[in-house]
Structure formats: structure tokens, C-alpha cells
Amino acid sequence: MRTYRYFLLLFWVGQPYPTLSTPLSKRTSGFPAKKRALELSGNSKNELSRSKRSWMWNQFFLLEEYTGSDYQYVGKLHSDQDRGDGSLKYILSGDGAGDLFIINENTGDIQATKRLDREEKPVYILRAQAINRRTGRPVEPESEFIIKIHDINDNEPIFTKEVYTATVPEMSDVGTFVVQVTATDADDPTYGNSAKVVYSILQGQPYFSVESETGIIKTALLNMDRENREQYQVVIQAKDMGGQMGGLSGTTTVNITLTDVNDNPPRFPQSTYQFKTPESSPPGTPIGRIKASDADVGENAEIEYSITDGEGLDMFDVITDQETQEGIITVKKLLDFEKKKVYTLKVEASNPHVEPRFLYLGPFKDSATVRIVVEDVDEPPVFSKLAYILQIREDAQINTTIGSVTAQDPDAARNPVKYSVDRHTDMDRIFNIDSGNGSIFTSKLLDRETLLWHNITVIATEINNPKQSSRVPLYIKVLDVNDNAPEFAEFYETFVCEKAKADQLIQTLRAVDKDDPYSGHQFSFSLAPEAASGSNFTIQDNKDNTAGILTRKNGYNRHEMSTYLLPVVISDNDYPVQSSTGTVTVRVCACDHHGNMQSCHAEALIHPTGLSTGALVAILLCIVILLVTVVLFAALRRQRKKEPLIISKEDIRDNIVSYNDEGGGEEDTQAFDIGTLRNPEAIEDNKLRRDIVPEALFLPRRTPTARDNTDVRDFINQRLKENDTDPTAPPYDSLATYAYEGTGSVADSLSSLESVTTDGDQDYDYLSDWGPRFKKLADMYGGVDSDKDS
């Protein structure tokens, strides 16, 4: 739509009163007329003249988004100094001057060259001025005016989010808040209804509704069930112009999810379950799994299982698998097929988290019947007791029966059972058992004082199936019999002072007994009958299992009698009465006036400053060892061998002598002469031994020259005999080496040592006749001759 504005600016000169001309416009709304007067002074500065109105206009208004092909006319500027002769020039400056807004410098017409957008800039402030073309001086002061852009509905509402996500509990009441959406309009909210937004729902009915002014989305349908439908997509429209025709609109999508509430009870898919388990299953063994379904999710779908009724209420248990929400039936107590073969249980599944507002839907639990069948297995024998305790007197004879154990096969077959003793628990084979009836009897004599309790294990085994066996502990207590006589608790050796008075206590006696009578020990003490009449001491029984030795006279003489031996009879009060005689040694000693012992005969029995017997024995032993060591050392020095002259490397007994000489091969005839071994006369007459100091000069014995045909055995025997009879031979073991090969070989000797004794060169051509094994050797010796010939 094209709108034209006509502004008529009239300037009256010479009127006594100012006038204002209002512009003509087709718009009824706008800014009120505004007066502006610029005063111009006269040509003379001192001359006062009447001021007059030079410029008069209103604010200019311009419609945005002009779509015409021509420039949009804004208004006209005119000065009363303009006489129409073109002497004045209008100049425009400020926001957009020369670009968005242009002015005809001759006529003062203002035009807009581009489409304007109020949302980008709603107000433009410009300045206008009229100047003289010839002089370039302003004929009017610069004045400021405003161009306001009028809004049109050119922006649709835009939501703050392209997609909204919201949740609401299922089964919510109508009108429950879900989410609020917001749309904004960039148009001017103060002008018309361009920015007035109204909300409406395009998709999502009849489940949800939206408030037209606030954009709040609420539930519109009662009892929406998540289990039937969980996801909803709602499309909301925002329209400006108050929702009237021609208004612009925008839409957004709201994804609404119904969250779960516990509105569904658990339900078993079947009413009866059946499982089997062997009777040998230990407690805690899982038998089977049951599962109730719950349409809810999360904690609302959690299920607890329990056994509420049935025959096996105390025999079985049920636990909940938190991951799978299954109920696991387990064995609670040991089963017995022979006692009960089938159990029936009532198992209940319930929700632990229940919402009271849904209790009207019914109880949130369900029950099912579980039938458990016990299977028979071949079981080992079962003893009548978990443990047996037997008693026997320690004086029982061998083969005395102590008691018996009983075991039987719990299976219906009732297989026969045999008994045995685990010998790992009765290594000494003190007890035995009748394999048929389980009677326990002794095989050795018993002694309570050695071992009070015997703990053995009895084994019961099925005869038809030896793999089926069981064990039971058997505790045998040996009962006491008074078969041990009491005796002194320790060895008693005491003393009496020479100046002791009569009835003076010198020692207290105590006794012990290995037996353990039921009423406790009761010992009696007395002197032996043979010593009671003429004894110098008496025994006083204290009736508390102790007794005292008292002197019977005043004064004792250690020179007359230095030691007294008192035989004391100790008896018990049990049946049969046991007694023993113990001897107390009493020494007569010299004491000080306080009664402390000083000396007994020639040695001190107990003296603080003396040495004990053990210390004296140790001292004597050290002296003996020292003497023996000295004697042995002296003997060894006397028998020590003579000092040898040759020490260090040249000692042929302990060292290997290295000369570092290298022979010259077969050509070297000076290195060694085998003839020396055959002719002992070649040995130097004045050659003596170098390993010991010579005591006397012995001439070396001359041995006869060995014949060429001498047998090696005779040669060795001859040399041994010579060494055995040689007075200069060493007195220790030595190894004599004789480098003699003997004679009689068909091929003669191959030794390089032997070759030096011959005058001429030997012929080795016969080596070629010995075969391929000696070919290499034949080539070597044959080649030597060739080299010589050449």
C-alpha cells in the first residue's frame, strides 16, 4: 500500500504575529505539532529590529518497508528568504543524510532512497540549513528535526526454542502444568497490535491444551496411561495481531513424555510352577527361578518375593535378584526323600514402593503356587548321634568292650553297613571295632596318667557301595584308678645346725600323686618303721598334704655324724592304698647365731661367696683341655718334617714346574735323548737331589743298561726295585714316570723320539698300504721325502 504525505510549510514575512501551518497527512495518528522559531538579526549590530519567524515545521513520519519503485517522499523545507530565484541552497546533514535521505537543494524536498526497517532504527535525527549560493553563507541558523519510522506488521512471532522437551506424570489430573512456551515479536508493541501474540495448539489435542496469553501447556485428558502411550508431540502456534486475520504466526514443537508412576501391580504369567531338586542339595542351593511381570519401570517395577504359606515354609526360602527382578527358590534346610517327597509353597510378589492414591486399583501384589519334588539319591550311612562319648577304667584288660556306635543306610534299600576305625586318628592301635555291630573294644592297656582322652574317628561304609561312607567322632575318657603311689614333690636335702634345739622345724615336705581321686588327694607322712625308734628327727604330719621334719634332741656334732638319711613313708587315702618311701638328706652344719649355715663338714653346701660344683667342673675341664693342647703341639713340632731347600714353585711335591721351553720338532736332536733312559750310565755322577737338605753324600747307584729286547714289564719291575732300595729316594709317595714304549710292535714305533736314534731316513711308503684311514698320514710323511728330494 502506497501512502503519500503532503507537508505544506508556509512562511509569512511581515506579519505581526507568528502562524503555524500543520502538515496534511492521511495518517490520523502521529506526533502533535511542534513549534520552532529561529530569530535572525538585522544587518547592523547596534540596530535593534523586530524578530520574525523564519522556519516552521512538524516532526516527519515515514512508513517502514516502502515497496514503491520511486523514492519515498518525506517532506519539504522552505525558508522565507527564498524568493524562488535560485539564490538559496538547502543542505541536509545528520543520520542517513546523503544516503538514506536526500534533499533537493533548490526546492527543499526530502526523499528516502531505500526501504527502512523500524526494527533496525526507529528514529533518525537530521539537521537542515539554507545558505546563499554566491557567498556560501547561511541565511538561516541550522535547525534540527526528527524523522520517525512508523511500524507495520512485518515480523512473525519467534519462539525462544525450536523444540521444547517436557515431562509430566502419567495419570495426572486435568489442568496439570506441563511446560510454558514463549514467543517474541520484533514489531513495535506500543503501536497497534503488531506485537500482540496469541497462542493456540495445532497438534496434541485432546491430550493437552495451551493458555492463549501465557503459553502454558496443561493436561487436558484424565488418566493418561504411560503403559498405553508414553510419547506425545504437541505443536503450538503463536500469532500476532491478537490472532486476527492477516496476522503473522510461528510454530514450535513440544515433545512431552509421560513419566511412570506405580499404577500397575505385579502379575505372575502362570499360577503354578514346578521344580525338582535332589535330596542331597545343601542349604543355599538354588532350585529354580520365578518372575512376575510389572508394566511399570524403574523403582516402581521393583518386586519383592516371599513365601507366605505352604508345607515347606521352613524348608525353603526365596530371594530377589535385584538385576533381573526374579525370585530365586533356595534350599533352607537339608531334605530327606525318605521323609517327604513333595513340597507345596505359596509365593507372593509385591511392590515395595506403593502410591496410596492408586490403592483403589487393587492390591499391588500377586501370588503363585510352587511345587517342589525331592529326588532320591544314594546317601551315605547316618550315625545315630553326631558324636559319641565313652568311658573306660584305666585298669581295663585287653579286649574289654567300651561301647558301640550305630549307623544305618537312610535310603529305602537299607543297605548293610560295616564299621572301621580311622587309623590316622589311632596310630598306636589302642582301640578296635567290630565291623558288624560297631562295638568298640580295647586292643592295648591304657594309662590315664599318659593320656586322659582318646579322640578317634569311626567310619561307616555301605557294603554294596563302598564309595558311600560317613564319619563320626568318638571321644573316649580314661577313668582314674589308684595305681600310682605318692612321692616327694622334689628332692629334699636340708641341714641342721650343730646348736639346734629340740623340736625345731628344719624342713617342710610336700608330696604329689599322678592319680586324680574324685575326693582329692589326702597324704599321710611318717618315718619308716626301721628308722622310727632310734632316729634323731621326727615327722610331724600337718594334715594338709604337708609334713615337717623336727629335731629330736638338743645339739648335733658334725664330727660324730655329718649326714643323716631319713626314710619317710608317704601314703594316700584312696583304694587300694598306695605308698612310697622317700629319703631326706640332712647335713649337720656350723651356723651363725642367726641360724644361717656357714659350713658343712669340709665344704660349703650353700655359700654366697663360694663357687658352685658346675663352675668347678668347668674350670677343671678347661685346664685339662689346655694341657692336652700343649702336649699335642709339642709332639707335632718334634715330628715335623725337615725344612726343604726348594720352596715356592720348584717344590715338585706340590707344584707343577713350567719351563716354557718349546721343542724344535723332529729336527731337534738336542732336546731329548731317549737313550738316556736306556743307559743310566749317562747320568752325571755328581748330580744330587735338590728337594731336601743332604745329610750325607750318597753316590748314585749305577743301574745296568737295558737291553734293546727287554720286555717292558721287566723294565718297569727293575726300575721299581731300584727305587725301593735307593737310600736317596724321597720318604714320601711320588710318581715315577718311565718314557719307554717297549719292543715287539710289527709296525715298529711311530714316535718322533724313537726316530732320532736311527742313522738314516725311514721309509713311510708302507702307510699307503694300510687303507684310506692312514692316507692322510701317508701323504704327510711321503711329502717330506719329496721335499727333501726336490
Tens-digit pLDDT profile for residues 670-694: 555 555 555 555 444 444 444 444 5
Rounded to the nearest 5°, which phi and psi values hold at 436?
-90, -50
pLDDT of residue 624: 93
- Asked if residue 546 is part of any domain, the answer here is yes
| pLDDT band per the 50, 70, 90 thresholds, residue 657 | low
Is pLDDT at 10 greater than 80 in this prediction?
Answer: no
Residue 769 has pLDDT above 80, yes or no: no
Say if 181 falls within a structural domain: yes
Would you list the DSSP string of 56-101? ----EEEESS---SSPEEEEE---TT--SSS-EEEEEEETTBTTTE
pLDDT of residue 24: 32
| 442 plus 523 within the same structural domain | no
Range of weakest confidence among 200-204, 433-437, 722-726, 733-737: 733-737
Q: Residue 29: its pLDDT value, please?
A: 32
Please indicate, yes or no, whether residues 402 and 474 belong to a single structural domain of this protein: yes
Helix, strand, coil shares of the chain as percentages rounded to 5? 10, 30, 55
Shared domain for 278 and 174, answered yes or no, is no
Residue 94 · residue 125 · CB < 8 Å: yes
- Residue 181: per-residue pLDDT: 95
**Lowest-confidence pick of 38-42, 242-246, 652-656:** 38-42
The mean per-residue pLDDT over the stretch 709-721 comes to: 74
Please check whether residue 681 lies inside any domain of the structure.
no
Q: State the CATH number of the domain containing residue 318.
A: 2.60.40.60
- DSSP letters spanning 347-412: EEEE-SS--GGGGGG--SEEEEEEEEEEEP--PPPEESSS-EEEEEETTPPTT-EEEE--EE--ST
Given 375, 403, 436, the domain boundary residue is 375
Contact criterion met (CB below 8 Å) for 558 and 590: yes
Same domain? For 219 and 281 the reply is no
Contact 326, 276 (CB under 8 A): no
pLDDT at 744 over 70: no
pLDDT in tens, 374-390: 998 888 999 999 999 99
**Calculated CA dihedral for residues 330, 336, 339, 340, nearest 10 degrees:** 30
In 10 A of CB 451, how many CB atoms? 14
CB 544 within 8 A of CB 521: no
Distance separating alpha carbons of residues 55 and 81, to the nearest angstrom: 10
Cα distances from 344 to residues 86, 269, 316, 335, 374, in angstroms, run 121, 19, 10, 14, 11
Kindly state whether residue 349 falls inside one of the protein's structural domains.
yes
Residue 47 lies in a domain: no
Residue 668, pLDDT score: 52
The pLDDT of residue 347 is 95
Q: Are 140 and 175 in contact (CB under 8 A)?
A: no
The larger pLDDT score, comparing residue 54 to residue 724, is at: 724
650: helix, strand or coil: helix
pLDDT digits (tens, 9 = 90+) for 130-159: 888 888 888 888 888 888 887 777 788 999
39 has pLDDT over 70: no
Give DSSP secondary structure letters for 537-576: EEEEE-SSSEEEEEE-SS---TTT-SEEEEEEEEE-SSSS
Instruction: State pLDDT tens for residues 430-458.
Output: 999 999 999 999 999 999 989 999 999 99
Sequence letter at residue 771: G
Kindly state whether residue 698 falls inside one of the protein's structural domains.
no
Q: Rounded CA gap, 343 and 316, in Å?
A: 9
The grid coordinates listed for 81 are 528568504
**Pick from 114, 191, 113, 111: which is nearest to 155 by CA?**
191
Residues 330, 350: Cα–Cα separation, whole Å: 19
CA distance 314 to 528: 74
Which of 455, 479, 503 lies at the terminal end of a domain, its last residue? 479
pLDDT number for residue 659: 58
Q: Which three cell numbers stand for residue 133?
A: 549560493
Does 136 share its domain with 206? no
pLDDT of residue 28: 31
Whether residue 371 is found in the same domain as residue 386: no
What are the E-state strand segments in 410-512? 417-421, 431-433, 439-442, 453-462, 469-479, 487-488, 493-497, 505-512
Distance from C-alpha of 257 to C-alpha of 182, rounded to nearest angstrom: 20
Residue 650 pLDDT grade (very low, low, confident, very high; cuts 50, 70, 90): very low
Domain identity same for 543 and 445: no
> Is pLDDT at 512 greater than 70 in this prediction?
yes
Q: Are 238 and 249 in contact (CB under 8 A)?
A: yes
Contact yes or no for 363/265 (Cβ under 8 A): yes
Q: Does 474 share its domain with 531? A: no
Are residues 473 and 491 both part of a single domain? no
Are 306 and 339 members of one domain?
yes
Task: Report the mean per-residue pLDDT for the chain.
Answer: 79
Closest CA to 226 of 84, 358, 42: 358
Tell me, yes or no, whether 177 lies in a domain. Answer: yes
Q: Are 242 and 299 in a shared domain?
A: no
Is 645 a residue whose pLDDT tops 80? no
pLDDT digits over 154-188, tens only? Answer: 788 999 999 999 999 999 999 999 999 999 988 87
pLDDT of 352 over the 50 cut: yes
**Domain termination residue (choose one: 549, 584, 599):** 599
Domain count, the chain: 5
220 and 290 both lie in a single domain: no
**Band of residue 601 on the pLDDT scale cut at 50, 70, 90:** low
- In terms of Cα–Cα distance, which of 404, 438, 400 is closest to 419? 438
C-alpha cell at 50: 523586530
Query: CA 670, 673, 679, 685: dihedral to nearest 10 degrees?
Result: 40
Residue type, 245: M
Residue 705 binned pLDDT confidence (cut-offs 50, 70, 90):
low
Number of DSSP helices (H) and strands (E) in the chain, helices first: 6, 43
CA 129 to chain centre: 92
Report d(CA 484, CA 447) in Å as an integer. 11
Q: Cβ(33)–Cβ(21) under 8 Å?
A: no
User: Does residue 604 have a pLDDT over 50?
Assistant: no
Strand 388-393, strand 469-479: pairing: parallel
Give dist(CA 749, CA 742) in Å, integer. Answer: 9
Say whether pLDDT at 316 is over 50: yes
Q: Using one digit for the tens of pLDDT, what is the confidence trace for 559-582?
A: 888 899 999 999 998 888 989 999
Rg (CA), the chain: 70
Average pLDDT over residues 198-208: 93
Residue pointed to by grid coordinates 564319619: 471
Residue 31 has a pLDDT of 34
Question: Residue with C-alpha cell 491430550?
Answer: 207
Q: What is the pLDDT of residue 153?
A: 76
Cα–Cα distances (Å) from 404 to 390, 431, 441, in that order, read: 9, 12, 9
pLDDT in tens, 263-301: 889 999 999 999 999 988 999 999 999 999 998 898 888
Give me the count of residues in the chain. Answer: 790
Q: Which domain holds residue 552?
A: 487-599
| Contact call for residues 331 and 282 (beta carbons, < 8 A) | yes
Give 173's contacts (C-beta < 8 A, 6+ positions apart).
219, 222
In a domain, 644, yes or no: no
DSSP single-letter state for residue 500: P
